[in-house]
Amino acid sequence: MVSKSRWKLLAMLALVLVVMVWYSISREDRYIELFYFPIPEKKEPCLQGEAESKASKLFGNYSRDQPIFLRLEDYFWVKTPSAYELPYGTKGSEDLLLRVLAITSSSIPKNIQSLRCRRCVVVGNGHRLRNSSLGDAINKYDVVIRLNNAPVAGYEGDVGSKTTMRLFYPESAHFDPKVENNPDTLLVLVAFKAMDFHWIETILSDKKRKPTTGLLAITLALHLCDLVHIAGFGYPDAYNKKQTIHYYEQITLKSMAGSGHNVSQEALAIKRMLEMGAIKNLTSF
């Protein structure tokens, strides 16, 4: 059960960019072994605008002029209705979305906005983080983005303890905000269906409760940061039936069968970003 007093919901992620990632980058249906970028002995220089210039080649209509999060002032005056339903548009959910935006606010923390060059890491939930000893390195980034209900407590040595943003959807919201996040963590709802808007409205309005984020998180980082690294992404090979897919629980690739995720397409999308130098990988893939 999630209470309004325990959660500080500041923003809602705009999902439009996932269409470009999914359809324009992903072309094949098989895994490819991806290279990785080990932690350097010295802190890698951060060049302002580096990620932006490379992302503009990756996304056809890339622009940082658009806000990262949906805001009421941006959405209320939209003249052209969306042609697609969630998660690729807002068709059929307009009234509900307006009510939600009216009781939420969106902002990037001032200490992040003021940085001359933003160094970010997107921490996935993959099994390769286990025994990686990347915790200290992850904590040194300006922005640490985590996904869903991935725990921090008890895994600090491998995944770090700093959390700037946590992207989640209702079904993955079963985490303790005080234990698994920092007091100033920005909780970002990723809405995949109309019911997700109903869910967050009930949370914020104290009504009766109703019941791969990873790629979206990388897309978010490319629109916010100057340097983007990732860690803990990738799944075991299809023939490896016993290898767990997460660093924190004993479930295998079999559990992904009914999830609706195309893990091989996601792997190819990330591979394209790596090859273009838009992101770098701190763990093997």
Task: Give CA 222 to chain center in angstroms.
Answer: 11
- Who's near 278: CB < 8 A, 6+ residues apart? 51, 54, 55, 58, 222, 228
How many Å is the maximal CA-CA distance in the chain? 52
Tokens of 250: 């004993």
Q: What is the mean pLDDT of residues 122-136?
A: 94
- Who's near 155: CB < 8 A, 6+ residues apart? 129, 135, 247, 248
Backbone angles phi, psi at 220, to 5 degrees: -60, -45
Share of the chain above pLDDT 90, in %: 31
Distance between CA 27 and CA 78 in Å, rounded?
32
pTM of the model: 0.73
| Residue keyed to tokens 């698994």 | 180
Distance between CA 172 and CA 149 in Å, rounded?
6
pLDDT tens, position by position, 134-157: 999 999 999 999 999 999 999 999
Distance between CA 233 and CA 273 in Å, rounded?
13
- CA atoms 82, 88, 94, 98: torsion sign: negative
- Number of domains the chain contains: 1
Q: What is the mean pLDDT of residues 49-54?
A: 91
pLDDT tens, position by position, 3-22: 444 444 433 433 333 333 33
Provide the CATH number for the domain around residue 71: 3.90.1480.20
Distances (CA, A) of 214 to 98, 107, 122, 172, 202: 26, 21, 8, 13, 26
Q: What is the mean pLDDT of residues 56-71?
A: 82
Q: Sorting pLDDT into bands at 50, 70 and 90, what band is 79?
A: low
pLDDT tens, position by position, 87-112: 778 888 888 888 888 888 777 888 89
The parent domain of residue 146 ranges over: 4-281
Distance between CA 200 and CA 86 in Å, rounded?
15
pLDDT tens, position by position, 207-248: 554 747 888 899 899 999 999 999 998 877 766 767 787 888
* Beta-carbon-side half-sphere exposure of residue 8 (alpha carbons within 13 Å): 12
